[in-house]
Structure 1
């Protein structure tokens, strides 16, 4: 009896170790398989995006011009910041650059916030049962399907102060007395751009949120209905926490797009200082002023700002999800 007990004890002790070893081996095999499948995509990504990025960073430390990039000479950090003759020069000392940074941040925060709020509302409406729901779902995607240049030009005509339909409608119902130059006025141009961007990208957020709503368990809502809990309270206590991962994906994609926004603002307001973003500033330096070195410095800082914002958001998002779990 005693001998059998001592023989069986090590056998029981070895089983978890063998199982753990097999689990670790399987995990390593899965990781190797994942890297094997990802390798071709990573190689293409390095060729398509990595090399231009490195070349842009290199040009930011040179005096390259658009007419002569081959004869560029290294000048260090002069494109970024340099002290000469009692004054600071360079990108970091340019008030127009800092204005474009502020415009970009303001545009990104306000537009993404509005898109999330309205996207959730639209998703909740599309998730409800009503006649013709599939047709409405298809119609909601139309703004997202229209190319950005086309939709921006369409809104530029509608917001025109001379023949735009927006001014005509507002004057007809008595909200304004005279036409407003929505895209030419420093007071209204940024809000006009935000409105156009929100109109176009609400369907994207709504689609992601709707997909998350379709996967929610029904028993939670049935229990809440039986207990007589108010729908608003159910939304904030049950629905919102459950769709948070989908919202994080929507926000990170939209924030990346908003921080590097160019097309919609350039079509509506061109190089106006009141709406100039970092991308438009970099384009102005590269193309119009033909200063490749200075424009590359602006592009490099834009890349660093976007990368930093992405890392911070992902870090905070993971911590929040970890607390909820």
Structure 2
């Protein structure tokens, strides 16, 4: 005999309603944590707005004026003329300046080559330092020396070593027969860019190696033990196991080095000064601001530098998130 249908009880109705993701209590706790995080970050954000935000806004403003270094208060608003203007049948401004575009190309070329070399050699050095051998701690400390030396000091040191008259680099290369006569490494248009890339790579490899080494120290050992038992080649283990696991740390190293490389100034200015073969966007902006005393035009160059760096970072982070499979 069939039983008559009964209306669902309030308890049954309530059981069919799902709580929000993470639970009601979890949502409240999450909101409290977010609120506490913003409260802790507030002093830093205020200080950052005063130290970096205000000068940045002033730079944006000056880029639309005819301000000079001797008279910034009496600057007149001229719109986008510092960037692009049509006058007497021709275009003028920063976006039509071949020297500016040459500095953009130099900056991008320097950044791409130097960061790529630093990542490759940094991984190699980190793998060597992660191996077990006698004196490993001493070698680790010695590897950090180039990174610990101030950039100005290391650049000046390399300037002496690369000098074509008394530099030890030419002396060593001539002694082993690689070159026949001294080379002006920092004065030659053919070698100057590679000279500054070499100096930058020498100095910043320890930074990348340190971050990669920290990631290697956190890897689980059971994966490598299983690969060793199965007889898998170490090179295949590196590309299939090690490299994917250290990718997040590697992305942090790349983004920090990319930011430094795109705004590079000190090492190139010390080695080659205002040479057009190595002039970067920062050196170009400094030349307009200080030497030519054109604050408006130099501010336009600085603004474009900021926008290019921001665009490069956004593209890199977007591609990195897609590679790691992070939800957009």
TM-score range, shorter chain: over 0.9
SS in 1 for 2:6: helix
Ranges in structure 2 where 5+ consecutive residues have no aligned partner: none
**Cα deviation code 1:199-231 (max 9, x no counterpart):** 000000000000000000000000000000000
* Cα distance in structure 2, aligned partners of 1:31 and 1:5: 48
Where does structure 1 differ by over 3 angstroms across 4 or more consecutive aligned residues?
Answer: 1-19
**Cα deviation code 1:249-285 (max 9, x no counterpart):** 0000000000000000000000000000000000000
C-alpha spacing 1:114/1:14, structure 2 compared with 1 (3 Å)? closer
Cα RMSD over matched residues? 2.5
* Cα distance in structure 2, aligned partners of 1:181 and 1:272: 13
**Cα deviation code 1:178-208 (max 9, x no counterpart):** 0000000000000000000000000000000
* Cα distance in structure 2, aligned partners of 1:311 and 1:244: 18
User: How far 1:312 sits from its partner (Å)?
Assistant: 0.8
* Cα distance in structure 1, aligned partners of 2:288 and 2:22: 63
- TM-score when normalising by structure 2: 0.94
**Cα deviation code 1:102-143 (max 9, x no counterpart):** 000000000000000000000000000000000000000000
C-alpha spacing 1:6/1:74, structure 2 compared with 1 (3 Å)? farther
C-alpha spacing 1:323/1:231, structure 2 compared with 1 (3 Å)? farther
User: How far 1:311 sits from its partner (Å)?
Assistant: 0.7
User: How far 1:3 sits from its partner (Å)?
Assistant: 13
Give runs of aligned pairs for residues 156-167 of structure 1, distance below 5 A.
156-167=159-170
* Cα distance in structure 1, aligned partners of 2:90 and 2:228: 68
C-alpha spacing 1:220/1:168, structure 2 compared with 1 (3 Å)? same
User: How far 1:6 sits from its partner (Å)?
Assistant: 9.2
Of 246-255 and 4-13, the range deviating more from structure 2? 4-13
User: How far 1:17 sits from its partner (Å)?
Assistant: 8.2
* Cα distance in structure 2, aligned partners of 1:2 and 1:69: 93
User: How far 1:86 sits from its partner (Å)?
Assistant: 1.0
| 1:183 corresponds to | 186
* Cα distance in structure 2, aligned partners of 1:50 and 1:150: 30
SS in 1 for 2:21: helix
C-alpha spacing 1:13/1:68, structure 2 compared with 1 (3 Å)? closer
Identify the structure with the greater helix proportion. 1
C-alpha spacing 1:292/1:224, structure 2 compared with 1 (3 Å)? same
**Cα deviation code 1:117-171 (max 9, x no counterpart):** 0000000000000000000000000000000000000000000000000000000
How many aligned positions are there? 324
SS in 2 for 1:271: coil
C-alpha spacing 1:235/1:9, structure 2 compared with 1 (3 Å)? farther
C-alpha spacing 1:206/1:324, structure 2 compared with 1 (3 Å)? farther
- TM-score when normalising by structure 1: 0.95
* Cα distance in structure 2, aligned partners of 1:110 and 1:315: 21
C-alpha spacing 1:120/1:3, structure 2 compared with 1 (3 Å)? farther
SS in 2 for 1:83: strand
SS in 2 for 1:8: coil
C-alpha spacing 1:4/1:164, structure 2 compared with 1 (3 Å)? farther
1:320 is aligned to 2:323: yes
